[in-house]
């Protein structure tokens, strides 16, 4: 009997949600995605220390100083981990722009170009890299510019339909709605427990899936930030799912049947209505959603804090 992981791969592209690229070999995902927190966690492990040390050594004696030096080092660390990941997955790696640029369109575009240039210098084609950007209005507009240049984007920290609609209108390649963090907010706000079917994060991703398929947007949807296996299985059939190694192990250890839940055919029959996504509508509708505004802000703060920790580690080694 096929494992749940093997069955899930028949309906959905499975992506490893980790900076620990050695764990990827065990589960054979198609793609992999990272963020500052995952890279920081991996960098703390002795087996990955040589990657960090090699990057730091390459900057000793550099004429760059201050923010320019740290920015260049961070770019190289991100790409160094990405290159190792690409040796282990046949598809794409998602590499994240500095979260502190989440409200800076021009800064995000500049940083994304720098990261992509390093990948291209290493011989990696653009089709194998996704630039991760927070789903703020400014981030979405940066993605619009980058997509027109052939630099494909993964819009992350996405918690609401209006964010997803704005991403689709901007022509982004992929979005990452955060399932588990939505559940976290509703648990804290209501004190209630939820089944996989009533899980607010699952419901949110299903609504985005229906919207995209009904109105013919080619944007790929990658459910992310799962808290349990039930959330994953409740989205079987989604374009992609990025799953932590611990949950991948749970899926690999079970042979219970997996039933596809989402399909373009059923989505097209939904009664979902169009949502306006011009800047004024976006800012108002996003502001009306307390969960989405709070979780987006929290995610930016957390990623920014971990970037500062990673910078401190590099500075101490330099």
| Residues identified as active-site | 132
The answer to whether residues 36 and 25 touch, using CB atoms and an 8 Å cutoff, is no
Considering only CA atoms, which of 188, 297, 175, 143 is closest in space to residue 239?
175
Q: In whole angstroms, give the CA distance from residue 93 to residue 115.
A: 12
> What angle do helix axes 36-43 and 49-58 make, rounded to 10 degrees?
100
- Residue 40 token pair: 């920081």
Cα-based distances in Å from 57 to 53, 80, 111, 122, 317: 6, 13, 22, 18, 9
Give the phi and the psi of residue 272 in degrees, each rounded to 5.
-60, 140
Ranges of H-type helices in 122-178: 137-148, 161-170
d(CA 142, CA 157): 15
Q: Which residues contact 284 (CB under 8 A, 6 or more apart)?
A: none
Tell me, rounded to whole angstroms, the distance of Cα 202 from its chain centroid. Answer: 16
């Amino acid at each position: 009997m096929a494992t749940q992981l093997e069955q899930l791969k028949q309906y959905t592209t499975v992506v490893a949600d980790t900076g620990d690229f050695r764990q990827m070999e065990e589960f054979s995902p198609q793609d992999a995605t990272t963020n500052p927190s995952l890279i920081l966690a991996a960098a703390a492990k002795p087996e990955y220390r040589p990657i960090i040390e090699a990057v730091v050594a390459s900057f000793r004696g550099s004429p760059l100083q201050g923010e320019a030096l740290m920015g260049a080092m961070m770019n190289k660390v991100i790409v160094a981990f990405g290159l190792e990941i690409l040796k282990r997955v046949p598809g794409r790696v998602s590499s994240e722009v500095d979260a502190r640029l989440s409200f800076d369109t021009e800064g995000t575009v500049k940083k994304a170009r720098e990261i992509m240039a390093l990948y291209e210098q290493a011989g990696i084609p653009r089709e194998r890299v996704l630039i991760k950007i927070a789903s703020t209005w400014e981030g979405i507009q940066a993605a619009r510019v980058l997509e027109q240049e052939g630099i494909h984007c993964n819009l992350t920290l996405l918690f609401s339909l209006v964010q997803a609609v704005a991403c689709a209108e901007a022509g982004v390649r992929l979005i990452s709605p955060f399932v588990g963090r939505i559940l976290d907010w509703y648990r804290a706000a209501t004190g209630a427990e939820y089944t996989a079917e009533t899980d607010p994060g699952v419901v949110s991703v299903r609504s985005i899936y229906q919207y995209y398929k009904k109105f013919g947007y080619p944007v790929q949807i990658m459910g992310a930030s799962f808290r349990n296996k039930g959330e994953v299985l409740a989205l079987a059939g989604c374009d992609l799912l990025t799953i932590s190694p611990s949950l991948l192990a749970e899926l690999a250890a079970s042979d219970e049947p997996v039933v596809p839940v989402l399909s373009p055919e059923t989505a097209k029959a939904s009664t979902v209505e169009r949502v306006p996504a011009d800047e004024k509508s976006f800012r108002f509708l996003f502001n009306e959603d307390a969960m989405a505004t709070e979780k987006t802000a929290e995610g930016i703060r957390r990623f920014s804090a971990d970037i500062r920790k990673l910078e401190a580690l590099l500075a101490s080694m330099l």
